[in-house]
């Protein structure tokens, strides 16, 4: 089946993004255990014993053309998490970047900035997206701050937007970058990658 978005590897200096596959399951179990990320109730990080089901579901969504997931490989060769395009809307040239999680040891490093730069560059320059969205929980303050630091603007809050695994409803904060903002956002992200880590 041919989709607007096909599996592609994206490579930077600090990180590589590989189309997610079952071969990544063992490493994703280890990555999720680093920091016990699945215990954060406002995220969708799989518990180690759920990593295979997580990947299998991502592959089903890829086949349907509604999502494209990647495994995140650090510069040292370790698989340290996952990210994806979701809510793919080919007709309106929109994607959402999300479902992103990293092992605790690589959080707040250049890895995330460069991963976002790779995904945004592919979205705007290869796929000709009109807009790229980011969504997160109202309670995920670290994620909200990180998205704003990328240069995305907050569009609004979708209240009682999603039902969570524990039965509660999530208020979702929506951000976006639109095509005419991309050149300045790209310049900003490239500048951050050139800065010393303590200044970025």
* Predicted pLDDT of residue 41: 61
pLDDT digits (tens, 9 = 90+) for 2-17: 689 999 999 999 999 9
**How high does pLDDT run on average in the chain?**
92
pLDDT of residue 198 exceeding 70: no
For the entire predicted model, the pTM comes to: 0.91
Ordered structural domains, the chain, with CATH:
10-194 (3.40.630.30)
Percent of the chain whose pLDDT exceeds 70 = 94
* Predicted pLDDT of residue 199: 45
Q: Where residue 197 falls among pLDDT bands split at 50, 70, 90?
A: low
pLDDT of residue 167 exceeding 90: no
Q: CB of 127 within 8 A of CB of 95?
A: yes
Q: What is d(CA 187, CA 104) in angstroms, rounded to the nearest whole number?
A: 27
* Predicted pLDDT of residue 39: 74
Can you name the residues that pair with 84 across neighbouring β-strands? 69, 98
Residue by residue, DSSP assigns 142-170 as HHHHHHHHHT-EEEEEEEEEEE-TTS-EE
Residue range 48-61: average pLDDT? 95
- Residue 153's nearest CA partner among 127, 185, 114 is 185
pLDDT digits (tens, 9 = 90+) for 106-142: 988 899 999 999 999 999 999 999 999 999 999 889 8
CA distances from 27 to 35, 80, 167, 181 (A): 14, 7, 29, 36
Residue range 37-47: average pLDDT? 73
Look at 121-125, 159-163, 172-176 and tell me which has the smallest mean pLDDT: 159-163
């Amino acid at each position: 089946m041919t989709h607007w978005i096909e599996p592609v590897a994206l490579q930077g200096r600090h990180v590589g993004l590989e189309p997610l596959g079952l071969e990544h399951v063992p490493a994703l179990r280890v990555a999720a255990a680093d920091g016990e990320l699945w215990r954060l109730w406002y995220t969708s990080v799989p518990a180690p014993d759920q990593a295979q089901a997580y990947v299998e579901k991502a592959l089903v969504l890829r086949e349907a053309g509604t999502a494209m997931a990647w495994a995140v490989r650090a510069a040292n060769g370790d698989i340290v998490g996952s990210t994806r395009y979701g809510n793919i809307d080919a007709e309106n040239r929109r994607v959402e970047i999300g479902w992103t999680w990293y092992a605790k040891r690589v959080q707040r490093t250049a890895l995330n900035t460069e991963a976002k730069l790779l995904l945004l560059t592919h979205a705007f320059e290869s796929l000709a997206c009109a807009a790229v969205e980011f969504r997160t929980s109202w309670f995920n303050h670290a994620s909200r701050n990180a998205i704003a630091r990328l240069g995305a603007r907050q569009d609004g809050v979708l209240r009682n937007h999603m039902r969570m695994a524990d039965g509660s409803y999530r208020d979702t904060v929506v951000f976006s970058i639109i095509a005419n903002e991309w050149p300045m956002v790209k310049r900003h992200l490239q500048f951050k990658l050139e800065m010393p880590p303590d200044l970025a």
